[in-house]
Amino acid sequence: ATPTALMVGTGRGAQLGILIKGPEVLESTRRVDTVVLDKTGTVTTGRMALHEVITAPGVSEQDLLRLAGALEHASEHPIARAIADGAAERTGTLPAPESFENIAGLGVQGVVEGHAVLVGREKLLSEWVIELPAGLAAAKAAAEAEGRTAVAVAWDGEARGVLTVADAVKDTSAAAIAELRRLGLTPVLLTGDNKAVAEAVAREVGIDEVIAEVLPQDKVDVVKRLQAEGRSVAMVGDGVNDAAALATADLGLAMGTGTDAAIEAGDLTLVRGDLLVAADAIRLSRRTLGTIK
Ligand code: ADP
Ligand code: MG
């Protein structure tokens, strides 16, 4: 590829809403055969809203929302924001937690009004030897089968309820994935979220390969494993937890609507956070390279 042709490609990219780190980046798109897509904030909007409040017998909705909301208020996770906002709307001012700890990929834990509170995946509860009773587990499974994310709430050693949050698939995701397939790429959905939720979203957008329940620090290993299988991997992500995977992928595409860490780690930035532009980016660079061969 001549430098001039690559510069033209780079300029055309800017017009399409693609920021390219350097012209040489375009070269890596030639071989890419697999595109790994982060779920939350990439395939879905990441703008979640509190949907259902499911309580264990003897627990009031008010208490569940107040204690879970107070803890989540201290977290910046999209799930946390949905829960804190929904709780504040329904119960009023939330108390400030006495202590707070964010456990990446699992949830949050801390002390609120003297209670030791946990909000997050079932795995977080099981680390404290807390089990979800059958009623809550069934409600959680039903919500997940419909593609909603469900988190468990426990305090003082007992599961107290389940909160579900709904996140919408972006309007352009299904079309973008069809377009990526037309370009010969195999899409793979990668997420820390539950398998049932991930599969419901994958079905909605036309992805067959799903890798779910992956901890943030393990996303990069998924990329390495695919590369070890001989695949050349493009990764599309938006979160802090996607940064290492974006940097390791043969081609990293960051959502411009995402975190600075993701944008810094990516080779390309999709300015408007539209997945359709990911297909444009790959088509553009192939065309740029093609014209000069
Ligand atoms: P993704 O890979 O889809 O961007 P994350 O790795 O950030 O998701 O989180 C994985 C899972 O961990 C979430 O689906 C949720 O079940 C749980 N989780 C993470 N942070 C929180 C939180 N602040 N509150 C409740 N649950 C959380
Ligand atoms: Mg994400």
Give the mean pLDDT of 109-127. 97
Each residue's pLDDT tens digit, 3-42: 776 767 778 888 889 998 877 777 777 789 999 999 999 9
38 is catalytic: yes
Helix-, strand-, coil-residue percentages of the chain, each rounded to 5: 45, 25, 30
What secondary structure letter does DSSP report for 169? B
ipTM for the whole complex? 0.91
Residue 279: which pLDDT band, with cuts at 50, 70 and 90?
Answer: very high
**Nearest ligand by distance to the CA of 79:** 1
| Nearest CA, atom 4, ligand 1 | 40
Nearest in space to 237 (alpha carbons), one of 216, 262, 209? 262
- Ligand 1 pocket: which residues have CB below 6 Å? 38-40, 72, 75, 77, 79-80, 105-108, 119-121, 149, 151, 191-193, 216, 239, 241
Distance 106 CA to ligand 1 centre (A): 6
Give me the pLDDT at residue 78, please: 87
Give the mean pLDDT of 77-87. 95
Q: What are phi and psi of 211, to 5 degrees?
A: -120, 105
What does the domain layout of the chain look like in residue ranges? 3-45+169-291, 49-166
26-30, 115-119, 190-194: which range is least confident on average? Answer: 26-30
Q: Say which amino acid occupies 226.
A: L
Alpha-helix residue ranges (DSSP H) falling in the chain: 3-16, 25-28, 61-72, 78-91, 122-127, 134-145, 173-182, 195-205, 219-228, 243-248, 260-265, 276-291
Give the mean pLDDT of 67-92. 95
Q: Does this chain's domain 3-45+169-291 share its CATH topology with 49-166? A: no
Each residue's pLDDT tens digit, 200-247: 999 999 999 999 999 999 999 999 999 999 999 999 999 999 999 999
Give me the pLDDT at residue 203, please: 95
Give the mean pLDDT of 45-71. 95
Distance 192 CA to ligand 1 centre (A): 6
Tell me which of 36, 125, 193 to substitute to probe ligand 1's pocket, judged by most ligand atoms within 8 Å of the beta carbon: 193
What CATH code is assigned to 3-45+169-291? 3.40.50.1000
For residue 96, what are the contacts with CB-CB under 8 A and spacing of at least 6? 70
Give me the pLDDT at residue 1, please: 60
CA 178 and chain centroid, separation: 20
CA of 77, closest atom in ligand 1: 23
CA of 149, closest atom in ligand 1: 14
Q: How far is CA 268 from CA 80, 91, 119, 235, 249, in A?
A: 29, 43, 35, 10, 12
Higher local confidence (pLDDT), 53 or 284: 53
CA 264 and chain centroid, separation: 17
Residue 292: which pLDDT band, with cuts at 50, 70 and 90?
Answer: very low
CA of 75, closest atom in ligand 1: 23
Per the CATH hierarchy, to which homologous superfamily does domain 49-166 belong? Calcium-transporting ATPase, cytoplasmic domain N (3.40.1110.10)
Find out whether 170 and 177 touch, Cβ atoms under 8 Å. no
Give me the pLDDT at residue 278, please: 93
